[in-house]
Structure 1
Amino acid sequence: MKTIVVIGGSKGIGKAILNKLLNHSKVVNISRTAPQMEHANLNHFSCDITKDNLPDLDKIDALIYCPGSINLKPISRLSIDDFKNDFEINVLGAVKAVHKYLPILKNGEKPSILLFSTVAAKLGMPFHASIATAKSGVEGLVKSLGAELAPTIRINAIAPTVTDTELASKLLRNDKMIENIKERHPLKKFLNPEEVAGMAEFLISDKAASLSGQIFEMDCGIVSFKI
């Protein structure tokens, strides 16, 4: 049975990933709050990725880094601290996790790493300057580490569009906003966490053994199509 570390698995996409993986893997969740579930295959460590030391572990086959932010403001209202905070959560937290667990991952069974970007790194959208900058850093990290760690460790990222989670609740707070978001996407929908979790499960599995250094846009067509 594989051992998978999920950082940020107590809510949203991370929680959906836990639910998928616990059926067949041992999962170590690392987050500030414990997930509201119990399972024989689940072990939790309380930790703030931006402040605390990560726990020592002796076996890891895959590392999934889920923490993110949605900090949408016009550039005139985005402070330098906003940019620093988004970069710390999205990029430096991922680097910290990779630094900590890389030596153990190298001894894992067909090891892999999965990070998260956003469609805003490809599609220019108003008010996304800080988060798009941070997530572009994540994509650069994936490309560089994909080359550096081959052939031992694979690394990929998922770049979702709007996903129905607590983090995106301000974007989906009433029926009109929900309908507007659906209409903006050529597939006339947005994502649910379980869809993203399914892609995450695939990308760390042996079925994705030929994929590394890739950014997978789960975009409901918003980046790919102009209709």
Structure 2
Amino acid sequence: MARVLIYGGTGGIGLATARALRARDVALHLVARDAAGLERAASDLGETTVTAGDVTDPSLFALATAAAGEALAGLVFAVGSITLKPIGRLSAQEIEADFRLNALGAFLAVQAAAPALKAGAGESTSGIVLFSTVAAAQGFSAHVSVAMAKGAVEGLALSLAAELSPSVRVNVIAPSLTRTNLARPLTANETVANGIAGMHAVPRLGTPEDAGALAAFLVSDDAGWITGQVIGVDGGRSSVRTKG
């Protein structure tokens, strides 16, 4: 059975994607830094193999792809960062770290997996899902580093959608603020969280399941005519204003 390879498989959105795919009876290969978390996830999910490693290590991608199998049904790169600082407080090292984690990591993941994704397409297609952020297109203050890195992910995805067609589809999910461990510094204070939630047409913060359900759909054959898209899972934040 061809597997879907998920980077960030123990994180909030990555694990929610894994659960949504297992509900579709899809076999998985999860990659994350948390070896113990990977083993727990594999035990809970079933039909799941794992590779422990850090996506900032370039050697990880060949190892993970080989362990996932010669044919892949899909690839999900659910890895991200939230570096929120005004430009005067940002260092070149922080910018580089965000780019390496988000954009270079996504590139290396796809580069390593492309032959297996083409092999797994069969008579249909395989699917790649990368993650951006609503901030890449909206221009939020203090989001320079993450918006730059995720903007590069969107450019990467559009180029790959052309290059890897017709056998491999490539799409991007751009969430707004979602209740994950990564976002906890912003969501732990309920007054702050409620204020941000109120900026959305659907006035709540996202959940990992919101993005995970869409990622599982985009990987599947149900999305067989969808490629080259950046799709907001953002409560309307990217396009809808209810006040002013």
TM class by shorter chain equals over 0.9
After TM superposition, give the deviation of residue 189 of structure 1 in Å: 1.2
- From 48, 62, 67, the counterpart of 1:42: 48
After TM superposition, give the deviation of residue 30 of structure 1 in Å: 1.0
Give runs of aligned pairs for residues 71-220 of structure 1, distance below 5 A: 71-109=83-121, 110-220=125-235
CA distance in 1, matches of 2:70, 2:220: 20
CA distance in 2, matches of 1:175, 1:106: 45
After TM superposition, give the deviation of residue 18 of structure 1 in Å: 1.3
Amino acid corresponding to residue 91 of structure 1 in structure 2: A
Bigger proportion of residues as helix: 2
CA distance in 2, matches of 1:67, 1:160: 13
Structure 2: give runs of 5+ residues left out of the alignment. none
Give runs of aligned pairs for residues 42-61 of structure 1, distance below 5 A: 42-51=48-57, 52-54=59-61, 55=63, 56=66, 57-61=69-73
What is residue 15 of structure 1 aligned with on the other side? 15
Q: Which moved more, 1:114-123 or 1:35-44?
A: 35-44
Identity value in percent: 37
Q: Spell out, residue by residue over 1:66-97, the C-alpha distance to the aligned partner (whole angstroms, 9 max, x if none).
A: 11100001111110111100000000001111
TM-score, structure 1 as length reference: 0.96
TM-score, structure 2 as length reference: 0.90
Q: Which moved more, 1:177-186 or 1:49-58?
A: 49-58
Amino acid corresponding to residue 94 of structure 1 in structure 2: A
CA distance in 1, matches of 2:197, 2:155: 29
Contact 1:8–1:67, Cα closer than 8 Å, also in 2:
yes
> After TM superposition, where is structure 1 displaced by more than 3 Å over at least 4 residues in a row?
none
CA distance in 2, matches of 1:89, 1:155: 19
After TM superposition, give the deviation of residue 207 of structure 1 in Å: 1.1
Contact 1:22–1:42, Cα closer than 8 Å, also in 2:
no
CA distance in 2, matches of 1:154, 1:59: 15
Contact 1:114–1:156, Cα closer than 8 Å, also in 2:
yes
Aligned-residue CA RMSD (Å): 1.2
After TM superposition, give the deviation of residue 225 of structure 1 in Å: 1.1
CA distance in 2, matches of 1:205, 1:97: 19
After TM superposition, give the deviation of residue 44 of structure 1 in Å: 0.8
2:129 aligned counterpart, secondary structure: strand
1:106 aligned counterpart, secondary structure: helix
Structure 1: give runs of 5+ residues left out of the alignment. none
